Amino acid sequence: MPEDTSNLLIMQGISKAFPGVQALENVDFDLKPGEIHAVVGENGAGKSTLIKIITGVERPDRGQITLGDETIHVKSPQHAQTLGISTVYQEINLCDNLSVAENILLGREPRKFGRIDWRSMREQARQILLRLNVDIDVSLDLGEYSIAIKQMTAIARALEISSAKILILDEPTSSLDAHETENLFQVLRRLKEEGLGIIFITHFIDQIYEVTDRVTVLRNGKLVGTFETAVLPRLELIAHMIGRTLGDFNDMAQIKLKSGKHTEEKIILQARQFGRKGSIAPLDLDLYAGEVLGFAGLLGSGRTETANLLFGVDKPDEGTLSFAGSDVKNFSPADSIARGVAFCPEDRKADGIVDELTVRENIVLAVQSNRGWLRRLSRQQQYDLADKFIKMLNISTPSPDQAVKNLSGGNQQKVILARWLATNPQVLILDEPTRGIDIGAKAEIQKLVLELAEEGKACIFISSELDEVVRTSHRIIVLRDQEKVREFSDEVDEHTIMEAMAGSSDL
């Protein structure tokens, strides 16, 4: 970093609550000119809320923000831009049907005699991009160019729109390959040398250590700490992010996994060099009948992306997948359900329960979808199915006709499990099945997963809680930065998994 150590931005005691959620609680954050500062944390850590407060999307309930020597109250994203704060979001919000020059200078086009001066606009846009080491034909439609060029165009617009002092980048490398990422990092280093303060939101551990000067860790809406990147061991960073101390792991006893002791020595699901660019690097995977296969890794490591591929939410662009010995040719959720694969998604609110339907209607949804709407389940069949799984999973509800939105988080999660168990799947993919529910409900769901394995069903179990993965899984795959990096099928403890998650370069 440059020698100037004065603060460009200071946030003190920032708190923000939403109905039922304390998103941020007394958080401090500062940014220096000429620094790249990472903000990291798992889901629900408070990263997005912090950025929304900086950019005026949300207003804090308490706290003070200082920009330079002036206390500010950011009223809107437009106000933030006038203050010199610009943001480039993960989903690039530009117009593919307009030229690169138009995208950069939209709303601020140079004019001559009351009309747009197209020649001047193209030259001005070209000079802005040259600052970012990008030399392209700015008269072509943006849609003609790669994601990497679109990313640079978004940064160019952000810098131009406000004569930015602060640039916020939200997961800027999520869709870039290694070469494109390195080009972006060269640009960021150049902007840093010019004195720009850069806030870098990312889930990629390697990239934190490659390009950032400091890292602020948030967890459950609270500040864990701000650290100099160069002197923070990777293992310690991950321990801060997931909320476990190194001493906790050193004292833990080795846990013997039941590796190789499957109910059946039969591979149900097999992937070979199976992947999708921008989601997960090609990987090999075997899933046995009667086995719980755990996925461990930080948010953004590729856990959910792999689950989405295996279930057909996304389509692979390389590799092969076989189910029960037959090659899979058609990739869609409907095809997966027909094969006997079920998927409980990570976000039960957005992708799982249907709020306005009853418990009964939510439970029978997948069965009815698989049968087709011309072969409707009778009302009695629906009640029989719902009653069976309400009893089996001990779902606490006054009746099957209770609106599912009125149940607790744990009981909503059980309803989603019931929906998929009702299809009698051979493979069950569970993505964060115990997130946000109480300890008792967690234990019940973990016990259920092991009982299903004993019945011969195969399960992929994804959780950000390492003790849960270790306790529930027979084998564990570790993912890091969208790659499978290790597989454990013997004795393993949380400390060992954390080392694999962190990488071995400076442990």
pLDDT in tens, 466-505: 878 888 888 999 999 899 999 998 678 788 888 888 875 4
Backbone φ, ψ for residue 67 (5° rounding): -115, 115
Give bridge partners of residue 276 from the DSSP assignment: 280
| Residue 360 and residue 343 in contact, taking contact as beta carbons nearer than 8 Å | no
Contacts of 120 (CB under 8 A, 6+ apart): 110, 112
Superfamily for 9-247? P-loop containing nucleotide triphosphate hydrolases (3.40.50.300)
State the pairing for strand pair 36-40/197-201. parallel
Average pLDDT over residues 141-170: 83
Closest CA to 172 of 141, 204, 195, 196: 204
**Could you identify the residue written with the tokens 């006893």?**
253
Q: What is the pLDDT of residue 322?
A: 95
Q: How far, in Å, CA of 33 to CA of 143, rounded?
A: 34
Task: Evaluate if residue 249 carries a pLDDT over 60.
Answer: no
Q: What is the pLDDT of residue 452?
A: 84
Q: Does residue 351 sit in helix, strand or coil?
A: helix
Q: What is the pLDDT of residue 264?
A: 54
| Residue 89 and residue 170 in contact, taking contact as beta carbons nearer than 8 Å | yes
Give bridge partners of residue 228 from the DSSP assignment: 214
In this predicted model, what pLDDT tens digit does every residue of 4-40 receive, in sequence order? Answer: 558 899 999 999 998 767 889 999 999 999 999 999 9
Q: Does residue 196 sit in helix, strand or coil?
A: coil
The pLDDT > 70 percentage for the chain reads 89
Q: How far, in Å, CA of 507 to CA of 487, rounded?
A: 19
**CATH assignment, 248-340+426-507:** 3.40.50.300
Q: How far, in Å, CA of 210 to CA of 173, rounded?
A: 13
Give bridge partners of residue 37 from the DSSP assignment: 199, 214
Q: What is the pLDDT of residue 245?
A: 54
Q: SS3 for 46-57, per residue? A: CHHHHHHHHCCC
Name, of 151-160, 249-258, 263-272, 373-382, the range with top average pLDDT.
Answer: 373-382
In this predicted model, what pLDDT tens digit does every residue of 410-449 receive, in sequence order? Answer: 788 788 888 888 888 899 999 888 776 655 566 777 788 8
Q: Which tokens sit at 73?
A: 């109250």
Sign of CA dihedral 384, 386, 387, 393: positive
Domains 9-247 and 248-340+426-507 agree in fold: yes
Q: SS3 for 387-437, per residue? A: HHHHHHCCCCCCCCCCEHHHCCHHHHHHHHHHHHHCCCCCEEEEECCCCCC
Sign of CA dihedral 458, 461, 466, 471: negative
Least confident of 32-36, 82-86, 227-231: 82-86
In this predicted model, what pLDDT tens digit does every residue of 167-183 receive, in sequence order? Answer: 999 888 876 777 778 88
Q: What is the pLDDT of residue 391?
A: 85
In this predicted model, what pLDDT tens digit does every residue of 90-145 receive, in sequence order? Answer: 667 788 889 999 888 887 788 888 888 899 889 988 888 888 888 889 999 988 88
DSSP 378: P
Task: Evaluate if residue 148 carries a pLDDT over 90.
Answer: no
Q: How far, in Å, CA of 421 to CA of 435, rounded?
A: 19
Least confident of 143-157, 258-272, 407-421, 471-485: 258-272
Q: Which residue has the higher pLDDT, 345 or 294?
A: 294
Q: Where are the domains of the chain?
A: 9-247, 248-340+426-507, 351-424
Query: What is the DSSP secondary-structure string of 289-320?
Result: TT-EEEEE--TTSSHHHHHHHHHTSS--SEEE
